[in-house]
Amino acid sequence: MKTAIITGASGGIGLELTKLFLANSWRVLAISRDTSKLEELKNSNLAFINADITKTEDLAKVEKLCSTISTIQIVINNAGMLINKPFQEISPNELLSVYTTNVFAPFHLLQKLIPLLDKSTRAHVVNIGSMGGFQGSTKFSGLSAYSSSKFALAGLTELLAEEFKNENISFNCLAIGSAQTKMLEKAFPGYKAPVFASEMASFIFDFAIKNAKFINGKIIPVSVSTP
């Protein structure tokens, strides 16, 4: 059975992705700080862990869980953190929190998972970026910490694709635009996105399972509106 790991799986796009993989007979290892919604799914192919992957001790829990699996085919780094605040009001701790969640956590998680990905015939890492972190896109005040961290995630994607280009692992970053999630509501209060979380999850699912062989090291915009 093929296995996918999804971070930030407790709601929004992450939860919808979990449902899609399960519906298509994948085994899913879901990582989230809140597992209540995952518990409701009651699926034998779902293993979830209550973990904050920004913490070393929780990363160790994930590594222990993964040690029971021979290979992993897909990793979707979906967990994210957003602060909507004027640049000069962002504290050092707030900036560190955003970068720890959006950049450092996927960095360290992938260090743990590369050996299992490398055992797969073809593996695919999909980092969930943002149009806010896409070169040349419209930018918005208050999102300096969030958007700059997504630029860093996009850069990491390109670097990993280069470093592992001779392996059987592809790395891509989807710079997603507006999808109706709690994070979008935090960034743009009152704005109604033209895309539901379930629709964006469907696109990400198809991209993850179909494009590992054909696309590598790319930052791909997925957006129909601004924001």
Convert the pLDDT of each residue in 24-76 to its tens digit.
Answer: 999 999 999 999 999 999 999 999 999 999 999 999 999 888 888 999 999 99
Q: Is the dihedral of CA 154, 98, 141, 199 positive or negative?
A: positive
In a domain, 65, yes or no: yes
Residues 6 and 113: beta-carbon distance below 8 Å: no
CA dihedral 105, 222, 139, 132 (to 10 degrees): 0
pLDDT level of residue 227 (50, 70, 90 thresholds) = confident
Q: Confirm whether 17 is domain-assigned.
A: yes
Q: What are phi and psi of 153, to 5 degrees?
A: -65, -40
Contact between 151 and 99 under an 8 Å Cβ cutoff? The reply is no
For the chain, what is the largest distance between any 2 Cα atoms, rounded to a whole number of angstroms?
Answer: 50
Whether residue 227 is contained in a domain is answered as no
Q: Identify the residue whose tokens are 């996927």.
A: 106
Domain that holds residue 151: 3-222
Domain count within the chain: 1
Tell me how far CA of residue 145 lies from CA of 61, 112, 150, 183, in angstroms.
28, 26, 9, 14
Alpha helices in the chain (DSSP H): 12-23, 36-39, 56-66, 92-99, 105-118, 144-163, 182-187, 197-210
C-alpha to C-alpha distance for 150 and 154, rounded to whole angstroms: 6
Task: Judge whether 174 and 204 are in contact, CB under 8 Å.
Answer: yes
What are 128-138's pLDDT values in tens digits?
999 999 999 99
Query: CA 114, 117, 122, 128 torsion: positive or negative?
Result: negative
The per-type count for the chain, helices as H runs and strands as E runs, is 8, 7
Whether residue 153 lies inside any domain: the answer is yes
Q: Under 8 Å CB-to-CB from 142, ≥6 apart: which residues?
A: 84, 85, 86, 187
pTM over the 0.75 mark: yes
**Residue 186's pLDDT band (cuts 50, 70, 90):** confident
Q: In the chain, what percentage of residues exceed pLDDT 90? A: 89
- Helix, strand, coil percentages (3-state) for the chain, rounded to 5, are 45, 20, 35
Per the structure block, which two tokens stand in for 104? 């450092």
- 48 lies in some domain: yes
CATH number for 30 = 3.40.50.720
Task: Tell me the pLDDT band of 22, cut-offs 50, 70 and 90.
Answer: very high
* Residue 17 tokens, joined: 């992705």
**Tens digits of residue pLDDT in 215-226:** 999 999 999 888
